[in-house]
Chains A and B, each alone.
Chain A
Amino acid sequence: MHFEDFSSFLDMAGYGVYVWLSFGCAALSLMILWCDSFFSKRRLFTQVLKEQARQARIKAAATQSTTAGQSATAGQSTAAEQSATAQKRTNGEQV
C-alpha cells in the first residue's frame, strides 16, 4: 500500500479533487452506459410481447367477425354491421 492512511489516500497530496473527479466521471459514465444497454434489452422484450398480444387480439376479432357473418343467415345487413364494429374495435386497439 502506497498511502499511510485513508485520509492521505483521499487527499492525493492535494490533487484529490482532480483525481477523484476523473475516476468518478469514468465510473459514472460507464455505469450509465451499461444501465442503458441492460434495461433497453428488457424494454425491447416487453415491446415484443405487447406487439404479440396486439396481433393475437386482432386475429381474435377477425375470426369473431367472420363467424358472426356466417351465423347471420337471415340478413346481410346485421353481419355487415357486426364486422364493422369488430373492425372499429381493432382500430381502437391499434391506437
Chain B
Amino acid sequence: MWKWLHPYAKTERTYHLCQRLLPWFSLLGLVVILVATAWGLAFAPMDYQQSEAYRIIYVHVPSAVLSKSLYSAMAIAGFIGLVWQVKTSFMAMIALAPIGATVTFVSLITGAAWGKPMWGTWWEWDARLTSQLILLFLFFGVISLYKAFEDKQQAGKAAGVMAIVGVINLPIIHYSVEWWNTLHQGATIMKFDKPSMPAEMLWPLLLSILGWALVSGAIFLLRMQNEILQREHRRPWVVALANKSEKQ
C-alpha cells in the first residue's frame, strides 16, 4: 500500500518532485490569496457588531489555522523520521518549522491588532493567547534544537522528540476557549453544527485559508529543496544542478 512512497526516501527524487510542484503551488497560492484578501477587504459585508475591524479575520484566522496545521505536519514528519528512520522526513520537519513560526507570529500580531480596538488591550495573559504564544516558542525550540547539533541525523531525532511532545499544546489551544474563561471568542467555523457566519463572509474566509495553505506549501517546497541541497551538497547530481543553474 505504501510502496509508492519508498522512492521518495531518495533525496534526488524528492527534490525533483518539489521542483515539479513548486510553480503550481506558487501561482495558485498567489492568485487565491490575492483574490481572497481583496474579497475580504473590499467586498465582504460589514459586521453589525465590530464594524470594519472584523476584516482582520481574513488574516488572523488563516494564520491561526495554519499555525496548528503546520505544527501537526511538523510533528508527524518528526514521528515518521523517528520510527522509520527516514532522512527526508526530518528534512521536511525542519523545512516546516520556520513557516509555522512565521504564521504563528502573524496570528499573534493580528490578534493583538484586533484585540486593541475590540477588547481594549493589545495583550492579555489569557488561555488562548498564552497557549498560542507557547506554540511559537515550541517552533523556536524545534528550530534551535535542530541547529544545536552538528550531526543532522542526531539533530533530527532530538528536534523530532520535541515536536512530538509539543503536540499536547494543540488540543489545549483548540479547547482553551471552552475550558477557561477567556477574552477570545469561541469557535466560529470549526464546529460540528452550522458555522455561525453568513455565506458572504464565510466564503472569502475559507478561500483565504486555502490561499495561505497553498503559499505555505510553496514555501515548504522551496525550503525542502534547500534542506536537501544542504545535506547532499557533495553528491554529483547536486553539483550538476548547481552548474546548470549557473548557466541560466
A: residues with CB less than 8 A from B are 1-3, 9, 12-15, 18-19, 21-23, 25-26, 29-30, 32-34, 36-38, 40-42, 44-49, 51-52
Given contacts A2-B46, A29-B102, whether A18 and B238 have CB atoms under 8 Å apart is no
Q: Which residues of A lie under 8 Å from residue B225 when comparing CB positions?
A: 41
* A52–B242 touching, CB < 8 Å: yes
Given contacts A18-B56, A19-B53, A22-B113, whether A41 and B222 have CB atoms under 8 Å apart is yes
Given contacts A15-B117, A45-B245, A51-B233, whether A22 and B110 have CB atoms under 8 Å apart is yes
* A1–B43 touching, CB < 8 Å: yes
Chain B contributes a number of interface residues (CB within 8 A of A) equal to 45
* A48–B42 touching, CB < 8 Å: no
CA–CA, A12 and B106, complex, Å: 20
| 12 sample A-B contacts, Cβ–Cβ < 8 Å, listed by A number | A13-B46, A18-B53, A18-B56, A19-B113, A26-B59, A29-B106, A30-B102, A30-B215, A41-B226, A48-B229, A48-B239, A49-B239
* A37–B46 touching, CB < 8 Å: no
A40 CB to closest chain B CB (Å) equals: 5
CA–CA, A47 and B110, complex, Å: 38
B109 contacts which of A14, A22, A36 (Cβ < 8 Å)? A22
1/0 per position for B26-47, CB-CB distance to A under 8 A? 0000000000010001111110
B229 CB to closest chain A CB (Å) equals: 4
